[in-house]
């Protein structure tokens, strides 16, 4: 943590005794706010686009019922 602070990185510790810390521990235990978008691999992007398209189709089907 000292190393990150010396590089100008703000570090916040969430207590596991608080509900926010419990939720974070249930996910991965680590969180970050990124200043720049992450590049996804093509396969991940295609998979995400397919999920979004399937979701749109389901919404359209419900609207026509």
Angle at alpha carbon of residue 55, lines to 41 and 52, rounded to 5°: 20
Give the pLDDT confidence of 10-39 residue by residue, as tens digits. 788 888 888 888 888 888 888 877 777 776
Specify the DSSP element, H or E, that contains 22: helix 19-27
pLDDT band at 49 (very low <50, low <70, confident <90, very high): confident
Is the full-model pTM beyond 0.85? no
* Structural domains counted in the chain: 1
pLDDT band at 2 (very low <50, low <70, confident <90, very high): low
What are the CA-CA distances from residue 6 to residues 3, 11, 33, 34 (Å)? 5, 11, 18, 18
Query: What domain range is 53 assigned to?
Result: 2-64
Percent of the chain with pLDDT over 70: 85
Distance between CA atoms of residues 21 and 46, nearest Å:
33
Statement: residue 5 has pLDDT above 80: no
User: What was the pLDDT predicted at 21?
Assistant: 82
């Amino acid at each position: 943590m000292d190393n990150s602070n010396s590089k100008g990185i703000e570090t916040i510790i969430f207590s596991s005794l608080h509900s926010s810390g419990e939720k974070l521990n249930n996910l991965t235990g680590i969180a970050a706010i990124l200043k720049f978008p992450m590049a996804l691999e093509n396969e991940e992007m295609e998979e995400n686009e397919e999920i979004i398209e399937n979701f749109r189709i389901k919404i359209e089907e419900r609207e026509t019922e």
